[in-house]
Chains A and B, each alone.
Chain A
Amino acid sequence: MSPDQIFQLSNPLALIGWLALILSPLSPIWADRVAALAVPLLLSLAYSGLVLAHWSGAQGGFSSLPDVMLLFTQAPIALAGWLHYLAFDLFVGAWAVRTARAEKIPHLLVIPSLILTFLFGPAGFLAFSILRLIMSQRKTV
């Protein structure tokens, strides 16, 4: 498969995971299986293959910002980077949903953090951490 084809497949795949998280109150176990295991593992598999196949021939590296930018000018590596985002953002989203359920944070309050994690990963993690801190204080009384 070409990088373009993998890219076209990976986005809907990740979306299925996010949908499962949004609807997770319906079936927490299946949401976790899909969003914390199946989808991130599939993406991780594709990522590993891409890196094994293309890393040695890639230009650039991690040691300077221009090196990183050079790295991402190559389609297979940029695709791997994109899959990395998709896989880890979803994994963090699934963790947030699991944590919220364990700590009795209403799912409705978690959804904005999930949307933020989906769009801007770390910003969503920050938002969820703030929400979690606030809700944990509330329960101490």
Chain B
Amino acid sequence: MTPAFARPATLPASRLWADAPILTGIALLMALGCLPILSAAAFDTRLFQGDNIWLKPFKFHLALAIYTITLAYFARFMSEATRASRLWRNYLTVAAAAIVAEVVWIGGAAALGTASHFNTSSPLWSGLYALMGVSAVTLTSVSLVMGVSIWRNQSSGLDPALHLSITLGLILTFALTVIVAGTMSSGTGHFVGSPLTDARLPLFGWSREVGDLRAPHFLATHALHAVPLAGLIVTRLAPAQPIRLVWLAASGYAALVLAMFVQALLGLPLI
């Protein structure tokens, strides 16, 4: 009984599907999930902390799409055996479930007109918030596991400096995100201080009056882009001591994130 209905269009086949089907599928799911969210944003007049109530779900879908497609790309530098192992696939299935749970929670809270993070208005919402903390660490841990796995893969075929920068970027994404986001989630909100005028940075929406922990969170999580980019530049320029330069770039980036973190904790805006 084959249904004779229209089949969906096929996008260009890509290595991403072969190397990381679960991560690529989740990335596409997060991206396509933006469509109903934007539709809701167009109809919904409710605001959450001064923005359209659907802005936050949209940001999370976008961020998780970028995160997972990046991981799907880096997966090619893991060893074939690890990628094909049942343990890795099961682990990714759990992480995928954590990602879906996270956006269902955030989108569901928006639909209900309430907060997702920092919502302790009832035992149910408090419990969900705690559970979603576990989910968040789970989904972030994929960058650590992948970073270590690539680190140990001697036959990635990568230039040593680039290889190092990818592993450091992935590991830093986990370490810095857990420090910054973990601290943020144990507080009562992303602000340190009480904004009066709602002066904010365009596009990102970070406060320009008080400390806003979302800024260091953003840079912490983007370590997996920034450090490999530095590695790529180092590889192209071919200087005398490329490995040392990559270590320098990674430590410099970590220091920058930690400085922004301290700045936010002191209640100071980014700029």
Expressed in whole angstroms, the minimum distance between the Cβ of A96 and any Cβ of chain B is: 10
Report the interface size class on chain B: 20 to 34
Query: Given A98-B3, A102-B2, A102-B3, are A141 and B18 neighbors across the interface (CB < 8 Å)?
Result: yes
- Selecting from A43-51, A57-65, A83-91, A125-133, the interface stretch reads A125-133
- The answer to whether A132 and B10 touch across the interface, beta carbons within 8 angstroms, is no
- The answer to whether A129 and B3 touch across the interface, beta carbons within 8 angstroms, is no
- The answer to whether A141 and B32 touch across the interface, beta carbons within 8 angstroms, is no
Query: Given A138-B17, A140-B10, are A133 and B28 neighbors across the interface (CB < 8 Å)?
Result: yes
Query: Given A123-B36, A132-B8, A136-B10, are A95 and B25 neighbors across the interface (CB < 8 Å)?
Result: no
Q: Give chain B residues whose Cβ lies under 8 Å from the Cβ of A130.
A: 29, 32-33
Q: Is A73 an interface residue (CB 8 A)?
A: no
Q: Give chain B residues whose Cβ lies under 8 Å from the Cβ of A132.
A: 8
- The answer to whether A134 and B29 touch across the interface, beta carbons within 8 angstroms, is yes
Q: Which residues of A (103-141) have their CB < 8 Å from a CB of B?
A: 123, 126, 129-138, 140-141
A126 vs B38: C-alpha distance in the bound complex, in angstroms? 14
- The answer to whether B3 and A137 touch across the interface, beta carbons within 8 angstroms, is no
A99 vs B14: C-alpha distance in the bound complex, in angstroms? 24
- The answer to whether A137 and B11 touch across the interface, beta carbons within 8 angstroms, is yes
Closest A residue, CB atoms, query B28: A134
What are 29 residue pairs bridging A and B, where the CB atoms are less than 8 Å apart in the complex?
Answer: A32-B1, A95-B3, A99-B5, A102-B1, A102-B2, A126-B35, A126-B36, A130-B29, A130-B32, A130-B33, A132-B8, A133-B9, A133-B28, A134-B28, A134-B29, A135-B25, A136-B7, A136-B8, A137-B11, A137-B13, A137-B25, A138-B17, A138-B21, A138-B25, A140-B13, A141-B13, A141-B17, A141-B18, A141-B21
Expressed in whole angstroms, the minimum distance between the Cβ of B213 and any Cβ of chain A is: 32
- Taking Cβ atoms with an 8 Å cutoff, the residues of A that contact B are 32, 95, 98-99, 102, 123, 126, 129-138, 140-141
Q: Give chain A residues whose Cβ lies under 8 Å from the Cβ of B2.
A: 102
Query: Given A123-B36, A137-B11, A137-B28, are A98 and B17 neighbors across the interface (CB < 8 Å)?
Result: no
Closest A residue, CB atoms, query B29: A134
Expressed in whole angstroms, the minimum distance between the Cβ of A93 and any Cβ of chain B is: 13
Additional 18 contacts, C-beta under 8 A, given A102-B1, A137-B17, A141-B21: A32-B1, A98-B1, A99-B3, A102-B2, A130-B32, A130-B33, A133-B9, A133-B28, A134-B28, A134-B29, A136-B8, A136-B10, A137-B10, A137-B13, A138-B17, A140-B13, A140-B17, A141-B13
Q: Which residues of B (39-84) have their CB < 8 Å from a CB of A?
A: none
Closest A residue, CB atoms, query B32: A130
Expressed in whole angstroms, the minimum distance between the Cβ of B79 and any Cβ of chain A is: 19
Q: Give chain B residues whose Cβ lies under 8 Å from the Cβ of A102.
A: 1-3
- The answer to whether A134 and B32 touch across the interface, beta carbons within 8 angstroms, is yes
A130 vs B33: C-alpha distance in the bound complex, in angstroms? 8
A130 vs B11: C-alpha distance in the bound complex, in angstroms? 13
Closest B residue, CB atoms, query A139: B17
Closest B residue, CB atoms, query A135: B25
Q: Give the residue among A95, A102, A131, A134 with the most B Cβ atoms within 10 A.
A: A134
Expressed in whole angstroms, the minimum distance between the Cβ of B192 and any Cβ of chain A is: 38
A102 vs B5: C-alpha distance in the bound complex, in angstroms? 11
Q: Give chain B residues whose Cβ lies under 8 Å from the Cβ of A137.
A: 10-11, 13, 17, 24-25, 28
